[in-house]
Amino acid sequence: MLHFSSYLRRTATELKQSAALVPAMPLRDRPLVICDLTQSYAPYGGGGISSYLREKRRHILERTPHTLVQIVPGAEDRVVERDRHVWVEVAAPPVRGSPHYRFILRTAGVRAALERYRPDVIESQCPWVLPWTAINYRRANPHTALVAGYHTDFPNAHVHRVGADLFGETVAGYMRKISIDYAGITYREFDRVYALDERTRAALAGYGVPHVDVIDLGVDAELFSPSRRNPDYRRRLGLAGNGPLLIYAGRIDNEKRADRLVAMFKALPAELGAGLVMLGEGKLREPLLAACEGLPVRLPGFVDDRAALAEALASSHIYVSAMADETFGISVIEAQACGLPVVGVASGAMPARVPAGLGLLGPVDDVPAMARNVLEIWNGDHAAMGAAARRHVAGRYGWDRVFTRLLDEVYAAALDAAAERNATRRRWLIGPRERRYVAGKRRMAS
């Protein structure tokens, strides 16, 4: 492990010398240095971005010659270098209400890491602060290609929703308009942007961002499998009953509408013998623990062991989610890979993840409808529906397929755009000088 301050003290001369050692050849003809840059990482309860970072690291190291630098928030400045993987944590304060998340404000630390490792491609995976750190770095290092992962349509899913709750619809509308303008200005600076569904690509086009690809995320279908089922799992949690065991995995907070799941569970008939497991952390966890006292509901916290998460999913019967703004739904396809039908809401990415025959979707915030859907699936052939869900995702959402497409299509297009941008820049800078040189030669000849 290197101390953060050690490489901060590297001089500009040393950096230029190390950069001079890079062979002067086309980017695609040599191994790349790829950098992930995100605010959305958390060591516990990090959700989809944490899964993405972990699986991308595995793919890059096992299947490519590239070096991967991943820059995330942390409790303190820290750098770990292991072969072709570099993990950089930049000290950042906790996010209020989400104690496992931190928010980088000290962008000088990020810029120092970029100067130290000089990436060929930077992929920014969140909308706040860090995209402009990448943009400003690229302006000083124009060979760098910028890619943005637009994982959430934040003007609608975050800004407008929170603004409406706090200030009312009129103010929220103005806030949404400002954030749309910000999104357009920011993501037009990137050489390539990818979204997770066509709906989001269309939204970005409306914001004036045309260069957008759509890629899926993935699931490890060998790890997340019905074979992980443990018949003793329910008893181990202290849950009686022989009815459906419902499960949810994700943040226990307002954005995920976790309280609706508890309300739905309370609407189920007691004689059903159902149980509910909610895996994850968040600011609603403690209030929901109090609200569920005496009920067959368990909130054991975040499960950081992926095998244990797979066991929990495979040992349950129905996956439930009330999230209205899901951008992809990694937890959904992990549950489907474990053979679970899904009960959710007809909003966001859920209709794409849960087509007919793999579960039931109802209106947003309609708790009685969600309870009815649980009963309908349980009283039907839920095992056959779960098996169909497994078949649906097992051959479609492999992580290696995701990253092969990301590298071969999205990154390739970004590198092409960067090369064209630099060629145009060279023509603009060198052209007049060459013209003056030719004019001088002509005068001498005459």
Q: Which residues of 344-353 are buried (b: 16+ CB within 10 A; e: fewer)?
A: bbebbbbbbb
Q: Tell me the average pLDDT across 156-184.
A: 92
Q: Which residues pair with 297 in a beta bridge?
A: 276
Residue 163 has pLDDT above 50, yes or no: yes
Which positions ≥6 away from 429 have C-beta within 8 Å?
none
Burial class (CB in 10 A: 0-12, 13-18, 19+), 85: middle
Homologous superfamily, domain 226-394: Glycogen Phosphorylase B; (3.40.50.2000)
Phi-psi region of 117 (alpha: psi -120 to 50; beta: other; left: phi over 0): alpha
pTM for this structure? Answer: 0.84
- DSSP single-letter state for residue 272: G
**Beta strand pairing call for 67-74 and 85-91:** parallel
Q: How confident is the model at residue 328 (pLDDT cuts 50, 70, 90)?
A: confident
Residues found in the chain:
446
Q: Please return the burial class of 273, using the count of CB atoms within 10 Å of its CB with bins 0-12, 13-18 and 19+.
A: middle
* DSSP code at position 93: P
Band of pLDDT at residue 46, cut at 50, 70 and 90? low
Identify whether the C-beta of residue 219 lies closer than 8 Å to the C-beta of residue 333: yes
Residue 251: predicted pLDDT: 87
Q: pLDDT class for 446, splitting at 50, 70, 90?
A: low
pLDDT at 193: 98
Strands 145-150 and 192-195: parallel
The per-residue pLDDT of the chain, averaged, comes to 89
Confidence of residue 376 (pLDDT cuts 50, 70, 90): very high
Q: Give residue 10's pLDDT.
A: 47
Task: Yes or no: say if 356 and 371 are a contact pair by the CB < 8 Å rule.
Answer: no
Check pLDDT > 70 for residue 11. no
- Short-list 118, 35, 43, 53, CA closest to 73: 43
- The pLDDT of residue 75 is 95
Q: Is the pLDDT of residue 202 over 80?
A: yes
Q: With 60 as the cut, is the pLDDT of residue 19 above it?
A: no
CATH number of 4-151+400-431: 3.40.50
pLDDT-based confidence at residue 326 (cuts at 50, 70, 90) = confident
**Where does the pLDDT of residue 126 fall: very low under 50, low under 70, confident under 90, or very high at 90 and above?**
very high
CATH 3.40.50.2000 positions along the chain are 226-394
